[in-house]
Structure 1
């Protein structure tokens, strides 16, 4: 990270606190005079104690994962590799990729960066009529929601606009149009988003259903914390069949879905991806504007921002977006941040792969990740690869800088039943990564006595993943149990390393 982009811990926490007055911050994020790394938890007062280090082969064998397990752990003080296996082999990092994307975005955009969504006009306002075109211009904000659009609609009405004499246009050109993040995901996967310069509600529409008479009543809406506007450009039809569960097609500016009746039950709801995000945002904004007494024509794509700015919505500062991305592992946020970073660096990304190549080059130059083979910014693509030695070194070096540990979430240690262990002697801040039959974890652990270790672990059974039939790609048979065993193995490895160093 260039010197002017390195955040002090004080600056980082001020940005996070200032950007989200209602967000709950961990208690450790209060005193900037402390070490940038998490403080060790005391063993007094009935705290759990570390068991003796288990043999590493027993840990791996007990997990019964198949495929490949690779890991590396580094003493952050000395840089010494403490233990490793398959550490030079490029393995899938899954969503651990987002940790790299976080620092890539901070470096390219700066910690004060905010995404802006604007309403602009090509004419003046007279007698309640905007004489010209109205443009809803996206700035690539990955967390724009219906409530934010409602605020823009209210601001438009406050400017005295009641109708528009020209066109209602959307400008979604701030980021390149990406049809979907990965091509091997189920059609209905809301996490496999379309990306554009105008992203509303993570580019998802809310689908709900309930049994009514001899059929089903369905609804498609763009709900938020306060509002629930109906979406007209996304349609759902219930079909009397068992499979496929969902089908999708884009037709005449509409997203047309069908769902198998046998899969519905009595009632339920889920989020589905939107594949025409510009028209989706225009549809929702038009409804919200009508609620403010502003009549708009149907939205059209292809607009370009310009003229007078009538209203603007700003996102929270970049560190807060990153913290939430790492906490909730939102794919669209990672991709939008990565694309925006590459654009800011002058790359002009044509695709996610092209943008990821720019991040790979940056990671090699900045953190020495010679094996960096990221193919996107979220880790959703299983064809990505990086060695665990490189990834552990990334966490060691970024941990020493102090920025990333403040953004990573606390990683809870759990017992055999999956319950969080209170007063566990280890403090772990890490990023998880999960795909079907892929589980990764990377971060920093502080052991009793204050020593800090940086680690990276990847377990993958790619042949088993590749062999999944289409109808099992969302919930594969045996997938939950496999992931549970992988996570247990990861914890046992961390506890082993801590026991060796305590």
Structure 2
């Protein structure tokens, strides 16, 4: 996802002995901050001396993983933008509400009888939130229908996404993000192009053509649901590589322009589609045709009532497995689907409003003071989301006693680990041999915002919990360097 956060100012450590439990007697001390000598000095110096933090805000919170004791804070109770660090709150609530083994279902139903290989009526593809449907899954469903003897559908192929409401974008998504993969429309029926599971997107591949000619463009998956408007030019080997991809609002026209050198490597970009339920329907129809099943009618949207006959169903991977691409790659779409699914399961209403209501309530049960949070979505893409750093370290401490904690911790990016599904968004950071694999944390970035929160093992083997929220940055990329330096200070602690 795209997010970012800032930070600054010095903090004078204060010892306050009042410990105020919220819901559990073993909750971490809320204000038991003790000076930790060299640790305090090093962090305070870093926050003071870094030019990138001039005019910015730095929310820093550090706790002991053993007892939750707050070891250091810098404006730790000030609400700041968390960016994708918020996904840890979404994951925790989803584990608590849905469970590690929870699976999403997709059903295929009919409103007519099968006679002589012909389904006399419409065929329904009913989505129930699965963001991991791939073309291969549609192939498998088509194969099962063929095995039932279906060779022809006399009616329409109906795409049913009524499991959730019809609000496609979270409240604060900016208009210029709508064609970006991280801003894709949220639907109960959708499809992903590959195993990154960026639901509601296609991959646009751009190869150089002959000099002076347009580039060669292909799509993953191959689909006629979107139309490529190729305005590119292949230039000489020393020419500029400036390819620009834009989605046309309200349509599935993708405009590809700019120049690509004749000797350039392939350019690749994920682009959000308009109306993902019909996109999923088009991929399913193609799979049906590839398996010898002809659909006479059109692909339309509609609703499968309870009177329809269920032919087959498909189950997604369990939630604990889905958490890997969700958290490692910071997948916004997964976060918003989980919010809506929590609303659907608890209140029968797959909306952001009800999902966030459930999320706040569940976080309170875990021990978080939800009255201190402003949650506007599940992904952290909204600049209106606000969470204090101390509340984030509190979540990471309290999560340790939950039965789902091993799966939760396993889903966090591991610093310096090369494998994308291990290192995730931290695979190219903190690669020093001395600290590689000792940091498991969630990254976050938005314009002007950079954040990092998680667990770090010190040189003595102790585990510390940390949160760094940097807001109001002029250069959020420089903010990441500050985060990395601070985490190195923690890793060096004896």
TM bracket, shorter-chain basis? 0.7 to 0.9
The structure-2 alpha-carbon separation of the partners of 1:488 and 1:211, relative to structure 1 and needing over 3 Å to count, comes to closer
1:205-225 deviation line (CA, Å, top 9, x unaligned): 2223445566536656342xx
Match of 1:406 in 2: 410
2:107 corresponds to 1:98: no
Match of 2:227 in 1: 235
Match of 1:157 in 2: 146
Q: How many residues matched?
A: 421
2:156 corresponds to 1:167: yes
1:453 is aligned, of 458, 464, 471, to 464
1:247-306 deviation line (CA, Å, top 9, x unaligned): 51325xxx22333x3355656332210121111111111111111111113210013264
2:138 corresponds to 1:140: no
In structure 1, C-alpha distance between the alignment counterparts of 2:409 and 2:243, rounded to whole Å: 45
Unaligned 5+ runs, structure 1:
1-50, 224-229, 465-478
Match of 2:435 in 1: 424
Match of 2:390 in 1: 389
In the alignment, is the contact (CA less than 8 A) between 1:187 and 1:248 conserved in 2?
Answer: no
In structure 2, C-alpha distance between the alignment counterparts of 1:91 and 1:458, rounded to whole Å: 7
Match of 1:62 in 2: 50
In structure 2, C-alpha distance between the alignment counterparts of 1:373 and 1:167, rounded to whole Å: 44
Match of 2:27 in 1: none
Match of 1:300 in 2: 300
Match of 1:115 in 2: 104
In the alignment, is the contact (CA less than 8 A) between 1:168 and 1:299 conserved in 2?
Answer: yes
Q: CA deviation at 1:354?
A: 5.2
In the alignment, is the contact (CA less than 8 A) between 1:94 and 1:438 conserved in 2?
Answer: yes
TM, length-normalised to structure 1: 0.76
1:262 is aligned, of 258, 261, 264, to 258
1:172-219 deviation line (CA, Å, top 9, x unaligned): 112223333422543431111101111201100222344556653665
Q: CA deviation at 1:353?
A: 5.3
In the alignment, is the contact (CA less than 8 A) between 2:438 and 2:456 conserved in 1?
Answer: yes
1:327-366 deviation line (CA, Å, top 9, x unaligned): 111111111112101221116254x355334423432342
In structure 2, C-alpha distance between the alignment counterparts of 1:174 and 1:168, rounded to whole Å: 17
In the alignment, is the contact (CA less than 8 A) between 2:430 and 2:484 conserved in 1?
Answer: no
In the alignment, is the contact (CA less than 8 A) between 1:72 and 1:85 conserved in 2?
Answer: yes
In structure 1, C-alpha distance between the alignment counterparts of 2:366 and 2:259, rounded to whole Å: 49
Aligned positions of 1:92-491 closer than 5 A: 92-181=81-170, 182-183=173-174, 185-201=176-192, 202-210=199-207, 212=209, 215-216=213-214, 219=217, 221-223=219-221, 230-239=222-231, 246-251=246-251, 255-259=252-256, 261-262=257-258, 268-296=267-295, 297-304=297-304, 306=306, 307-346=308-347, 348-350=349-351, 352=352, 355-369=355-369, 370-401=371-402, 402-403=405-406, 404-412=408-416, 420-424=431-435, 427-461=438-472, 464=474, 482-483=476-477, 485-491=478-484
Q: CA deviation at 1:377?
A: 0.6
In structure 2, C-alpha distance between the alignment counterparts of 1:240 and 1:217, rounded to whole Å: 6
* SS at 1:250 equivalent: coil
1:228-249 deviation line (CA, Å, top 9, x unaligned): xx32221122358999962513
TM, length-normalised to structure 2: 0.77
1:99-131 deviation line (CA, Å, top 9, x unaligned): 111121112112221111121112221111012
1:36-92 deviation line (CA, Å, top 9, x unaligned): xxxxxxxxxxxxxxx988622332223614421111011233332111111111111
